[in-house]
Amino acid sequence: MSPFSDALSIAASVRRGERSATEVLEEHLGRIAEREPEIHAFNLVTDGPARATAAAVDAAVAAGEDPGPLAGVPVAIKDNLCTRGVPTTCSSRILEGWRPPYDATVVQRLAAAGAVAVGKTNLDEFAMGSSTENSAFGPTRNPHDTSRVPGGSSGGSAAAVAAGFAPVSLGSDTGGSIRQPAALCGVVGVKPTYGLVSRLGLVAFGSSLDQVGPFAHTVADAALVCEVVGGHDPGDSTSLPGAFPSVSEHLSDGVAGLRVGIVTELMGEGVAPDVAARVRAAADALAGAGATVEEVSVPAVTFGLSAYYLVAPAEASSNLARYDGVRFGNRVDAATTGEMMTATRTAGFGDEVKRRIMLGTFVLSAGYYDAFYGTALKVRTLMRQDFDTAYESYDVLLSPTSPTTAFAFGAKTADPMTMYLNDICTIPTNLAGHAAMSVPFGTGDDGLPVGVQVLAPALGEVPMFRTAAVLEAAAHAEGGAA
């Protein structure tokens, strides 16, 4: 169990006036001062504004007002979410120093709920990567073992929670960028159904895949943050109508009668045996709690990686065309506008970003569009169909989140394909637009955290969170017994 306070207890004590938001903040800033030099979870710690926000929360409590469900809760924000007047870099040189003129909707909603933003967290440049090693500002280190990566791309947000810098944080997940670092850092991470959380103010990577979600120590905290930041936003044309499903009230429902399928294709080749063993232990725990557990085949998931590495770069190449040195970000001067744009982009983007922009440009170009991009879009349909078939017989599915525990720095940087293989278990959910979350479930042979992934159909958040809550309790019981 985490040695750190959870968001629900912090908010409860602040709302009752038992603890001040200022005192809570100083405790977290103290831990940041102590361990951040070693971890590098943040691109920027906003201690000044955070102190002002905490003081405002305390003033509200003193005046008899309710600051909201996240009263005085420190939160860390992935540095690809816009924060008005506060630098937002996407861990890229091209945006270094940029101060957005508006807040992302999710940032506004956290603030309106009484949360205290403590800083902007590190990521792989423009969220492209699985280890934060692609950050232009240096990697984040895994708090459990600083010789290992925290995962990525939301590695800073995962590490910030794991290190006790904030009880909850926000990340974004395009192909696993919340769930994989959550697994590697031993925290809960949620990728909600596409359209449930606003993308307004999330710097776009793959617009049909991107979704914002929380990191937390507990399933209940993750549920609360989803409910606070989620729900319809008229500013996002892909936002679904209605509120985020009420998941918090179902966390004690248990899993009796729930039908759980272990995805056969995600348990074999490429998955470390100790990780697979933890997934089987999780399945046993669910069966012990009254769920029906069986193996189920979802054939299309084996094609996820191929489809994703055509679709995501295609969308990225289009989305990143806006970084041209004209309206925001940095410029490298040259004699003509065309030369200025090339010089700016060449100096501003790192290798992984360049690689994906070129790959995307290629698969969208005349003569290749149908063969590559068109084929990949059809595979998305197959993915949706195969999941739909599975969800006729099962309420949720189970798999590893990441095929291995946290790996060493440099282990996978030489060959991009090796790094991409990290995402085999998480990518299918984004292609389908479904929901999935990672729940810590013990450790691998190396003593590092293992995450179990709970997958659910679109808007299947309630059974997903019920399952996660039972797994969390089972992991605690197991840990306590050990």
Partner 1 sequence: MAERITTDDVAKVAHLARLALTPDELETFTGQLAEILEHAEDIAALDLAAVEPMARPVPLVNVFRADEPGEPLDRDEVLACAPVAEDGQFRVPPVLGEAP
Parallel, antiparallel or unpaired: strands 396-400 and 449-456 = antiparallel
Site string for partner 1, 215-234 (x = CB under 8 A): -------------------x
User: Smallest distance from the beta carbon of 377 to partner 1, in angstroms?
Assistant: 3
- In terms of residues, how long is the chain? 482
Under the criterion CB under 8 A, does residue 369 sit at the interface with partner 1? no
Per the CB < 8 A criterion, the answer to whether 138 and 120 are in contact is: no
336 binds partner 1 (CB under 8 A): yes
Q: Is 432 in the site for partner 1 (CB under 8 A)?
A: yes
């209940």: which residue's tokens? 220
Contacting partner 1 within 370-399 (CB under 8 A): 371-372, 374-382, 384
Least distance to partner 1, CB of residue 324, Å: 7
User: Any catalytic annotation for residue 153?
Assistant: yes
User: Residues 12, 334, 411, 459: which binds partner 1 (CB under 8 A)?
Assistant: 334
Looking at the Cβ atoms of 40 and 345, the one nearer to partner 1 is 345
C-alpha to C-alpha distance for 443 and 451, rounded to whole angstroms: 8
Phi, psi of 439, deg, nearest 5: -120, 130
Phi, psi dihedrals of residue 13, rounded to the nearest 5°: -75, -35
Alpha carbon distance 475, 472 (integer Å) = 5
Which of 205, 387, 420, 465 touches partner 1 (CB under 8 A)?
420
From the candidates 20, 131, 135, 153, which is the catalytic residue?
A: 153
Catalytic residue among 20, 157, 177, 399: 177
Q: Should residue 268 be labelled a site residue for partner 1 when binding is judged by CB under 8 A?
A: no
**CB 318, min distance to partner 1, A:** 10
For partner 1, which is the closer residue by CB, 149 or 458?
A: 458
Minimum distance from CB of 188 to partner 1 (Å)? Answer: 23
- Cβ closer to partner 1: 240 or 291? 240
Q: Is 279 helix (H, G, I), strand (E, B) or coil?
A: helix
Shortest separation between residue 332's beta carbon and partner 1, angstroms: 9
Q: Could you tell me which of 78, 70, 72, 21 has the C-alpha nearest to residue 44?
A: 78
* 415 touches partner 1 (CB under 8 A): yes
Does residue 157 have an active-site annotation?
A: no
Which among 5, 13, 78, 172 is annotated as catalytic? 78
Q: Does 335 bind partner 1 (CB under 8 A)?
A: yes
Question: Based on CB atoms, which residue is closest to partner 1, 63 or 335?
Answer: 335
Which residue lies nearer to partner 1 by CB, 287 or 421?
421
Q: Among residues 9, 342, 389, 413, which is the contact residue for partner 1, using CB under 8 A?
A: 342
For partner 1, the binding residue among 61, 212, 305, 470 (CB under 8 A) is: 305
DSSP three-state, residue 449: strand
When binding is defined by CB under 8 A, the residue of 327, 392, 480, 482 that contacts partner 1 is 327
Give min distance, CB of 360 to partner 1, in A.
Answer: 8
Told to check if 345 binds partner 1 by CB under 8 A, we report: yes
**Antiparallel, parallel or unpaired: β 259-263 and 396-400:** parallel
Binding to partner 1 by CB under 8 A, coded x per residue (else -) over 452-471, reads ------x-------------
Task: Please report whether residue 312 would count as binding partner 1 according to CB under 8 A.
Answer: no
Binding mask 93-112 for partner 1 (x = CB under 8 A): -----xxxxx----------
The DSSP output letter for 142 is: B
What one-character-per-residue DSSP string does 65-133 give?
----TTTT-EEEEETTB-BTTB---TT-GGGTT---SS--HHHHHHHHTT-EEEEEE--SGGG--SSST
Residues 284 and 264: their CA atoms lie apart, in Å, by: 16
**CB of 407 within 8 A of CB of 416?**
no
Strands 259-263 and 292-296: parallel
Q: Is 120 a binder of partner 1 (CB under 8 A)?
A: no
- The 1-40 site mask, x for binding partner 1 (CB under 8 A), equals ----------------------------------------
CB of 51 to partner 1, least distance (A): 24
Applying CB under 8 A, which of residues 349, 394, 407, 465 lies at the interface with partner 1?
A: 349
What is the distance between the alpha carbons of residues 28 and 24, in angstroms, rounded to a whole number? 7
Q: Smallest distance, Å, CB 480 to partner 1?
A: 40
Residue from 42, 126, 165, 194 in contact with partner 1 (CB under 8 A): 194
DSSP assignment string, 180-195: HHHHHHTSEEEEPPTT
**What is the C-alpha separation between 84 and 346, in angstroms, rounded?**
27
Binding mask 285-304 for partner 1 (x = CB under 8 A): -----------------xx-
Q: CA-to-CA distance for 98 and 94, rounded, in angstroms?
A: 9
Strand order in the sheet with 188-191: 42-45, 116-121, 74-78, 168-173, 211-216, 188-191, 435-443, 449-456, 396-400, 259-263, 292-296
State the nearest-atom distance from the C-beta of 395 to partner 1, in Å: 20
Residue closest to 27 by CA, chosen among 167, 141, 170, 168: 167
Label the pairing between strands 211-216 and 188-191.
antiparallel
The answer to whether residue 78 is catalytic is: yes
Catalytic residues: 78, 153, 177
